[in-house]
Amino acid sequence: MLEGLKDSVLLANRRLVSSGLVVLTWGNASGYDPETGLVVIKPSGVDYDRMSADDMVVVDLGGKVVEGSLRPSSDTATHIEIYRNFAGVRGVVHTHSVEATAWAQAAREIPCYGTTHADTFHGSVPVTRTLSESEVEEAYELNTGRVIVERFAGLEPLAVPGVLVAGHAPFTWGKSPADAANHAIALEAIARMARLTEAVSAASPVPLLAPYVGEKHYQRKHGKNAYYGQSAPDGGNG
């Protein structure tokens, strides 16, 4: 069942490790198949180098395990809430990558200081609000998904393919598991660049990138007339 998607999800999970974004078992990637309405996700707390495609767990949008002998990631309900609300999303990634997590812990949006940021994120990288005590106690992972969706009111998820959950860590997404992993890698680099920019800047606050430059970069990769990459105007090769 969903063999190709399982391979893609396994590869995305491994990529998080090889890119240095995941320490121990702190991360997970999933993929969504719109035809069957099923999600393929990493099992919880399993070592990355021992995982095979067969270990991937298949769940439906209600969170019920449809296939697989292992428990799904403890963050499964968050992934599902993203798939249920963000049209066109086919992959979700969660990591505790250090630089992005620092901004999440500081509950601070990452401002757009340069074209590297603008190439991937259309505007600041948003931060959710903190969950209330009852939201944490009752259905924590589902409510984590809900505050993400709440924060994206008025935003286009595929144009801003990631978020910082306050006090926690980043989630990213995309048109495939590989795309979501690329956005996790990009977010970590952007978070680091923003921190270093503030460290070396002579001005305070650091001036933002001129909006027309950011727009140009975003559009040359993702707009109707995109000309970056081999498959433009899609331009989705990161």
Residues identified as active-site: 119, 228
- How many degrees, rounded to 5, is the angle at CA 16 between CA 119 and CA 72? 120
From candidates 53, 152, 197, 233, binder to a copy of itself by CB under 8 A: 197
* CB nearer to a copy of itself: pick between 36 and 231: 231
Q: Which of 64, 79, 63, 61 is nearest to 145 (CA)?
A: 79
The 150-189 contact track toward a copy of itself, x by CB under 8 A, reads: -----------------xxx------------x--xx--x
Burial group, residue 88, by CB count within 10 angstroms (0-12, 13-18, 19+): exposed
Shortest reach from residue 145's CB to a copy of itself, in Å:
15
- Chain positions 19 to 48 lying near a copy of itself, rule: CB under 8 A, are 23-26, 43-46
Q: What residues from 56 to 85 belong to the interface with a copy of itself (CB under 8 A)?
A: 70-71, 74
Interacting positions 123-152 with a copy of itself (CB under 8 A) = 130-131, 133, 136-137, 140
> Rounded to the nearest whole angstrom, what is the least distance from the CB of residue 18 to a copy of itself in the complex?
12
CA distance linking residue 134 with residue 209, whole number of Å = 39
**Is the preceding omega at residue 126 within 30 degrees of 0, hence cis?**
no
**E-assigned strand segments in the chain:** 27-33, 38-41, 57-60, 65-67, 91-95, 162-164, 170-174
Integer Cα distance of 135 and 128 in angstroms: 13
d(CA 193, CA 153): 27
What DSSP element (H or E) covers 137? Answer: helix 133-151
In angstroms, give the least distance from the CB of 89 to a copy of itself. 20
Which of 79, 146, 220, 222 is in the footprint of a copy of itself by CB under 8 A? Answer: 220
Give residues 92-121 in contact with a copy of itself (rule: CB under 8 A): 96, 98-99, 101-108, 113-116, 119
**Whose CA is closest to 66, among 53, 56, 77?**
56
Among 29, 38, 194, 218, binds a copy of itself (CB under 8 A): 194
Candidates 101, 104, 118; CA nearest to 208 is: 118
What residues line the site for a copy of itself (CB under 8 A)?
Answer: 23-26, 43-46, 70-71, 74, 96, 98-99, 101-108, 113-116, 119, 130-131, 133, 136-137, 140, 167-169, 182, 185-186, 189, 192-203, 206-207, 209-210, 212-213, 216, 220, 227-232, 235, 237-238
